[in-house]
Amino acid sequence: MGTHAYEGGRLNLPFVGISTFGKRPYVEDWATLDADVAIMGAPFDFGTQWRSGARFGPRAVREASTLFSFGHAGAYDHEDDATYLPASVRMVDIGDADIVHTDTERSHANIEQGVRAILQAGALPVVIGGDHSVNIPCINAFDGQGDIHILQIDAHLDFVDERHGVRHGHGNPMRRAAEKDYVTGLTQVGIRNVSSTAREGYEDARNMGSDILSVRQARALGPKGVIAHIPEGVRVYVTIDIDAFCPSIAPGTGTPSHGGFLYYDVLEMLQQLAQRHEVVGIDLVEVAPDYDPTGSTSILAAQVLLNFLGFIFHARAQT
């Protein structure tokens, strides 16, 4: 009796085949969605303030995810002695939200609609950006879904209220989230150096219930210590800006900032989180493959997402 896909049909090497996320099935008709976790791309990048190109983030992360998609029945991790994402976890790729060039509001509305479709189907939504403004419609979609706490892993605070009329750019999402009554708090980790947020933004954030930790502060606390900052029992939405990571491993992004997290810093926070909290939604944003000639950034995004999903469903299976 074969336990591995490759014993039957195809060897299905990473470089072979259509690039859906993790080479999982593509569900074009969102009305038929039936899965534990659904991946959607949000290839919107008009919200960037320096380098654009995050519109190609979803395609790049999908392609990179094939590296971790041998035809095995799940991924065995010898350090944890666990097989993550076995076939029993039903993961699908629902393609991309429709983006309308020149039109931020319409594009955001389409993203919100996609997340709502996933939530409607009872699946965990995982959105691949696109720039960080796509978090705004993602959080909008959680209206009526109960209270959530936001864990933001990012270099930048993204807490600008309004400037020159802009309220839905990639410098605004955390401010927009904090305004929601169903967002009960924010933990903002990795924040460092200069950004588009000025001193007032930091003061506002703290006043609106935010907990801000730099990379050095997070390292001093350790992964467990960081996660302990999140109130017990809350349901957590996680938004990962790839520029939270050090440009050494994530150069392919719009506004890189030196001094960022290394791989295990974030991996271990996510593993801790998965063990202690219900994770209700995820977005990973700002992968801009045109600045990623080695593929390192896309691979990081795929590796982090697949491991994080592994931790989440492993924890669910334990309970």
Query: By CB under 8 A, what part of segment 276-315 binds a second copy?
Result: 290-296, 299-300, 303-304, 306-307
Q: Among residues 182 and 290, whose Cβ is nearest to a second copy?
A: 290
241 binds a second copy (CB under 8 A): no
Which window, 17-25, 143-151, 229-237, 276-284, contacts a second copy (CB under 8 A)? 17-25
For the CB of residue 235, give the shortest distance to a second copy in the complex, in Å. Answer: 27
Which window, 6-14, 116-124, 177-185, 269-277, contacts a second copy (CB under 8 A)? 6-14
30 binds a second copy (CB under 8 A): no
Task: Compute the distance between CA of residue 177 and CA of residue 163 in angstroms, rounded to an integer.
Answer: 17
Q: Which whole-number Å values give the CA distances from 226 to 187, 216, 242, 245, 279, in the listed order?
A: 9, 11, 18, 16, 16
272 binds a second copy (CB under 8 A): no
81 to 100: interface string for a second copy, x by CB under 8 A: --xx--------x-xxxxxx
31 binds a second copy (CB under 8 A): no
DSSP secondary structure string for all residues of 268-285: HHHHHHHHHSEEEEEEEE
Give the phi and the psi of residue 308 in degrees, each rounded to 5: -60, -45
CB 176 within 8 A of CB 167: yes
Which window, 42-50, 117-125, 137-145, 174-182, contacts a second copy (CB under 8 A)? 42-50
193 binds a second copy (CB under 8 A): yes
Helices 296-318, 263-276: axis angle to 10 degrees equals: 20
User: Which positions make up the binding site for Mn(2+)?
Assistant: 132, 154, 156, 158, 241, 243
Q: What is the dihedral of CA 270, 275, 277, 283, to 10 degrees?
A: 30
45 binds a second copy (CB under 8 A): yes
Q: Among residues 133 and 239, whose Cβ is nearest to a second copy?
A: 133
Task: Compute the distance between CA of residue 155 and CA of residue 209 in angstroms, rounded to an integer.
Answer: 19
Which tokens sit at 18? 């259509």
Asked, as a colleague might, if the bond just before 130 is cis with ω within 30 of 0, I would say: yes
16 binds a second copy (CB under 8 A): yes
Which of 37, 38, 56, 125 is close enough to bind a second copy by CB under 8 A? 56
Which positions from 112 through 141 interact with a second copy, judged by CB under 8 A?
Answer: 133
User: Which residue in the block uniquely carries the two structure tokens 């392609």?
Assistant: 63
214 binds a second copy (CB under 8 A): yes
Q: Among residues 1 and 18, whose Cβ is nearest to a second copy?
A: 18
164 binds a second copy (CB under 8 A): yes
4 binds a second copy (CB under 8 A): yes
Task: Compute the distance between CA of residue 305 and CA of residue 318 in angstroms, rounded to an integer.
Answer: 20
For the CB of residue 294, give the shortest distance to a second copy in the complex, in Å. Answer: 3
- Three-state DSSP at 313 gives helix
The pairs formed by 143-146 with CB atoms below 8 angstroms and a separation of 24 or more are 143/180, 143/182, 144/182, 145/119, 145/182, 145/280, 146/182, 146/235
Q: Which whole-number Å values give the CA distances from 106 to 5, 70, 162, 163, 285, in the listed order?
A: 42, 38, 19, 20, 19
User: Which positions make up the binding site?
Assistant: 132, 154, 156, 158, 241, 243
Handedness of CA 206, 239, 237, 189 (dihedral sign): negative
Residue type, 268: E
Q: How many residues bind a second copy (CB under 8 A)?
A: 106
202 binds a second copy (CB under 8 A): yes
Which window, 8-16, 116-124, 140-148, 174-182, contacts a second copy (CB under 8 A)? 8-16
Which window, 144-152, 173-181, 189-197, 229-237, contacts a second copy (CB under 8 A)? 189-197
